[in-house]
């Protein structure tokens, strides 16, 4: 049954890969759905779709939330495109349900600050300010189908609003991760689950449309010039659907047996990851990332996101220039329960603006 499901998803993937068209850029909205608000995975360049685990998996591959052992909480704060005065606050929660399931919730809010109200007659403002907000709320369930196959499904509600105008949409995410072992460590023990594959499909949903009093005005209606309230209809816009294929490999160069001689102790880990993302409305992207971990306490990582024309300012259609960096300090709280407290940071390079800074905190109980 699982093989049939995987075959079906593969066929969908192949069909989807040839459906994208960068000439459609500008025909989709709700681009906040493409933002990765978390510090760890953004430091990788979002390259770890195949191996991401826990709350952060909500934004790359929802199947990764199935790896949680009990409870995980995560908070992140992003200074988006430094100088634009846009800030993103994110919160996520994952709870183990039963023996093999996990239930997750995620909230992301974009704050644009106060913007001057302008009119045709007063282009310089002076009428006060308004406060736009973008919000994404998600609920997901993931399950461990076997020791090698994990899958998940998420429902997200996205809302964009100003005081007299708003738009709301609903979309689905789905993902699968497959794990297998390859090679042996220095002790001769077979390495399990160090080769990861992942497929993630995101933002599949209904079109959005703006509604509200902001589309109405009082004016003279011909031919008799009667003063009436006229309501304009806004056009629908699509959600930025995409699909990502990824792989990741973990190296353990300095493994050794513990004092009892029965358990392998892995002091160092080096992980290499890569993704291909097919976007329906923008350019396709290639992600590459590298992470080094010392005792799973100190982790440093870097990544690069490539798309057509990114190396030349004249041809680049994004503020991001490609490179990303990140680091984590993870403090064990209870080794028996695998409880940890972690502090994460990432930086994404941009031009113009002065990059994107993200800090995050994770607690695993």
The predicted structure's pLDDT at residue 264: 63
- Higher local confidence (pLDDT), 334 or 68: 68
Q: Of 47-56, 193-202, 333-342, which gets the smallest average pLDDT?
A: 333-342
**6 Cβ contact partners less than 8 Å away, ≥ 6 residues apart:** 149, 176, 178
The predicted structure's pLDDT at residue 321: 96
The predicted structure's pLDDT at residue 135: 97
End-to-end CA, the chain: 34
How many CA within 13 A on the CB side of residue 230? 10
Residue 207, judged by CB atoms within 10 A of its CB (0-12, 13-18, 19+), counts as middle
Task: Say whether pLDDT at 24 is over 80.
Answer: no
pLDDT tier for residue 17 given thresholds of 50, 70 and 90: very low
Mean pLDDT throughout 5-31? 59
Task: Say whether pLDDT at 224 is over 80.
Answer: no
Distance between CA atoms of 73 and 91, rounded to whole angstroms? 8
The predicted structure's pLDDT at residue 121: 81
Mean pLDDT throughout 212-238? 79
Note the pLDDT tens digit of each residue in 228-246. Answer: 777 788 888 999 999 999 9
Task: Say whether pLDDT at 15 is over 50.
Answer: no
pLDDT tier for residue 87 given thresholds of 50, 70 and 90: very high
Beta strands (DSSP E) in 22-118 are 71-80, 86-97, 101-111, 115-116
Mean pLDDT throughout 95-105? 95
Sorted by where each starts, the structural domains of the chain and their CATH numbers stand as 2-364 (2.40.160)
The predicted structure's pLDDT at residue 266: 76
Task: Say whether pLDDT at 74 is over 80.
Answer: yes
The predicted structure's pLDDT at residue 2: 47
Structure tokens at 342: 């972690």
pLDDT tier for residue 27 given thresholds of 50, 70 and 90: confident
Note the pLDDT tens digit of each residue in 43-72. Answer: 999 999 999 999 999 999 999 999 999 999
The predicted structure's pLDDT at residue 18: 46
Q: Are 105 and 77 in contact (CB under 8 A)?
A: no
Note the pLDDT tens digit of each residue in 135-159. Answer: 999 999 999 999 899 999 999 999 9
Note the pLDDT tens digit of each residue in 116-141. Answer: 988 878 888 888 898 999 999 999 99
Mean pLDDT throughout 286-294? 96
Handedness of CA 314, 319, 322, 323 (dihedral sign): positive
Note the pLDDT tens digit of each residue in 162-184. Answer: 888 999 999 999 999 999 887 66
Rounded to the nearest integer, the mean pLDDT of the chain is: 87
**181 Cβ contact partners less than 8 Å away, ≥ 6 residues apart:** 190, 191, 192, 193, 194, 195
Percent of residues, the chain, with pLDDT higher than 90: 62
């Amino acid at each position: 049954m699982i093989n049939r499901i995987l075959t079906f998803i593969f066929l969908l993937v192949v069909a989807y890969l040839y459906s994208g068209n960068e000439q459609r850029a500008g025909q989709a909205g709700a681009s906040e759905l493409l933002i990765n608000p978390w510090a760890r995975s953004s430091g990788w360049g979002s390259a770890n779709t195949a191996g991401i685990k826990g709350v952060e998996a909500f934004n790359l591959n929802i199947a990764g939330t199935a790896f949680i052992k009990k409870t995980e909480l995560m908070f992140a704060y992003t200074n988006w495109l430094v100088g634009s005065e846009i800030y993103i606050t994110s919160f996520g929660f994952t709870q183990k349900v039963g023996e093999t399931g996990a239930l997750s919730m995620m909230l992301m809010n974009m704050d644009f600050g106060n913007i001057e109200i302008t009119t045709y007659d007063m282009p310089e403002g002076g009428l006060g300010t308004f406060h736009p907000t973008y919000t994404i709320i998600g609920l997901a369930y993931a399950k461990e189908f076997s020791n090698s196959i994990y899958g998940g499904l998420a429902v997200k509600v996205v809302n964009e609003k100003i005081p007299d105008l708003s738009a709301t949409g609903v979309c689905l995410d789905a993902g699968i991760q497959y794990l297998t072992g390859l090679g042996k460590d220095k002790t001769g023990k077979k390495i399990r689950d160090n080769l990861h594959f992942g497929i993630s499909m995101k933002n599949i949903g209904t079109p959005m449309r703006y509604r509200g009093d902001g589309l109405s005005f009082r004016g003279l209606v011909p031919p008799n010039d009667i003063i009436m309230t006229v309501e304009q209809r806004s056009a629908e816009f699509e959600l930025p659907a995409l699909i990502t294929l990824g792989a990741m490999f973990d190296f353990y160069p300095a493994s050794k047996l513990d004092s009892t001689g029965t358990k392998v102790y892995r002091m160092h880990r080096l992980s290499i990851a890569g993704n291909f993302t097919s976007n329906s409305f923008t350019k396709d992207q290639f992600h590459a990332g590298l992470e080094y971990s010392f005792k799973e306490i100190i982790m440093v990582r870097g990544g690069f996101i490539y798309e057509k024309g990114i190396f030349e300012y004249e041809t680049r259609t994004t503020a991001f220039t490609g490179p990303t960096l990140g680091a984590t300090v993870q403090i064990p709280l209870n080794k028996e329960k695998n409880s940890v407290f972690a502090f994460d940071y990432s930086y994404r390079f941009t031009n113009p603006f002065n990059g994107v800074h993200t800090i995050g905190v994770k607690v695993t109980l």
